[in-house]
Amino acid sequence: MATLPKSGVSAGFELAAGYQPAGDQPRAITNLVQGLEAGHRAQTLLGVTGSGKTFTVANVIQQIQRPALVLAHNKTLAAQLATEFKEIFPRNAVEYFVSYYDYYQPEAYIPRSDTYIEKDTDINAEIEKLRYSTTRSLFERRDVIVVATVSCIYGITPPEDYGDLSLSLDVGGEFERQRLLRTLVGLQYMRNDSSLEHGRFRVRGEVLEIFPTYDDFAVRIEFFGDELERIVKLEPLTGEILEELQRVTIYPARFYVTPADRLTAAVTTIRQELDERLTQLEARGKVLEAARLRQRANFDIEMLTETGTCSGIENYSRHLNVRQQGDPPWVLLDYLPEDYLLVVDESHVTLPQVRGMLAGDRARKEALVEYGFRLPSAFDNRPLSFEEFEQHFNTAVFMSATPGAYEYEHSEQIVEQIVRPTGLIDPAIEVRDTKGQIDDLVGE
């Protein structure tokens, strides 16, 4: 995890719920907070369904005043948790980081039928915006709760690059306009002078308007020569000015953005790997595979050289991020500070899901590499292994009604939350004979 600059002013976590902890919640909150203060690395909140575990964790976060990552096992549950945390912490940053694909067909090759399946996706623009909003918030403040799925263990831009490539502009400062436009293009913003959309900018005379990928509002910059005369936040659809700004920071429009010098070096190492791989394939008599790889890789290299990106650029992340073979990828967890709290919801389901991600990814790519569709470095475009995931947190709370073996083995404290805030108990269960069940049902 990286030590990141916090450019914004953050308030502390401020609970805004109109009710107080009840039932077993007060005791659970106290025990968990005491465990964190005592330095416990892992604790388990064992709570029955409906006992208010989310509210308990919210109170823990409010008391310890640390950023938190809440990990859920599917998008629906993550959305529900994010909604609940937004209601509890309306004045703090509650972010939602999940896969932004409405449809995802991964690249694959089936040797048995000689079938190549090209990657096909349908990206949800709103979820994409929320992902970029997450990294922006983690850079600018500490009062952040991120609700995420296993998408958070897949590779994105290294946090240092994301920060170094950001563009800070001040009223009264000087910035040659054409250089500013080139900088925006380098950050993967696209020029569109007719309509203002996420990840686009437009120029009208002395006015530059930028619509960041992570925000609901656009930014208008007015020039007087090379001087930045005025910066305002505006509603992109109506053009209504919402706020005068003295300073604005523009973050990259995409996660896979690489500094120019490193991109040049990456192209060199990709060529070297390509030459080595072609030699291996030709030595094994795999002429077709070698020809296929040469054509595909050279096309990608040309695109990287000319535009700074290419289709499937994530498969070259090892080169772009200057990692060694087998090194873990940079992931969202690296954007969080060292003292963040990991909360794993439904841990008996979520932890096994994290454990299984790497093996599935590796199995699919083996055929792609073996048959010349990808370079071996594509293996390093992968999720974290479970062991690497464990190295990315220092304090964790596992939440479950039925904790698994991992939770019992690694937790230094099991905190029970059995009595619901409402005082309601589980309904009585009656087991009746199947004989005469229809008559019994009609009678009920």
> Both 40 and 148 in a single domain?
yes
Share of residues in the chain with pLDDT > 90 (%): 77
Helix 53-64, helix 25-37: angle, nearest 10: 40
> Both 147 and 47 in a single domain?
yes
Q: Which among 189, 217, 250 is the end of a domain?
A: 250
Unique residue bearing structure tokens 């686009």: 200
Residue 290, CB-side half-sphere exposure with 13 Å CA sphere: 13
> Both 146 and 33 in a single domain?
yes
Number of domains in the chain: 3
pLDDT of 2 reads 47
pLDDT of 443 reads 83
47: tokens are: 């709570």
Instruction: Judge whether 72 lies within some domain.
Output: yes
CA–CA distances in Å: residue 197 to residues 135, 192, 201, 202, 235: 20, 8, 8, 10, 11
Instruction: Judge whether 174 lies within some domain.
Output: yes
Phi, psi of 105 (to 5 degrees): -115, 105
Instruction: Judge whether 13 lies within some domain.
Output: no
> Both 41 and 147 in a single domain?
yes
Phi, psi of 168 (to 5 degrees): -100, 130
Unique residue bearing structure tokens 């003292």: 339
Strand partners for 147: 70, 96
> What are the pLDDT tens digits along the chain (444 aa)?
544 444 444 569 999 988 899 889 999 999 999 999 999 999 999 988 877 899 999 999 999 999 999 999 999 999 999 999 999 999 999 999 999 998 889 999 999 999 999 988 898 999 999 999 999 999 999 999 999 999 999 999 899 988 888 999 999 999 999 999 999 998 999 999 888 899 999 999 999 999 999 999 999 999 999 999 999 999 998 889 999 999 999 999 988 888 888 899 999 999 999 999 999 999 999 999 999 999 999 999 999 999 888 988 999 999 999 999 999 999 999 999 999 999 999 999 999 999 999 988 898 899 999 999 999 999 999 999 999 999 999 999 999 999 999 999 999 999 999 887 766 666 788 888 888 888 888 887
226: tokens are: 């090379």
- Three-state SS for 256? coil
133: tokens are: 């909003």
Instruction: Judge whether 57 lies within some domain.
Output: yes
> Both 114 and 144 in a single domain?
yes
> Both 310 and 406 in a single domain?
no
> Both 188 and 298 in a single domain?
no
Report the CATH number that the domain containing residue 336 is assigned in CATH: 3.40.50.300
Instruction: Judge whether 115 lies within some domain.
Output: yes
User: What's the rounded Cα separation, in Å, for the pair 322 and 320?
Assistant: 6
Instruction: Judge whether 8 lies within some domain.
Output: no
Q: Give the range of the structural domain holding residue 122, as residue numbers without chain letter.
A: 25-156+327-417
37: tokens are: 């203060």
Contact 145, 67 (CB under 8 A): yes
Q: Which among 298, 319, 340 is the end of a domain?
A: 319
> Both 284 and 354 in a single domain?
no
> Both 115 and 33 in a single domain?
yes
> Both 125 and 224 in a single domain?
no
> Both 109 and 223 in a single domain?
no
Strand partners for 169: 248
* CA-closest candidate to residue 210, choices 5, 309, 188, 227: 188
CA–CA distances in Å: residue 329 to residues 119, 199, 231: 21, 25, 37
Contact 249, 7 (CB under 8 A): yes
Burial 193-204 (b: 16+ CB within 10 A, else e): eeebebbbbbee
Instruction: Judge whether 161 lies within some domain.
Output: no
The pLDDT tens digits of the residues spanning 150-171 come to: 999 999 989 998 888 899 999 9
Helix 287-307, helix 260-283: angle, nearest 10: 170
> Both 198 and 236 in a single domain?
yes
Instruction: Judge whether 246 lies within some domain.
Output: yes
Q: Which among 319, 344, 369 is the end of a domain?
A: 319
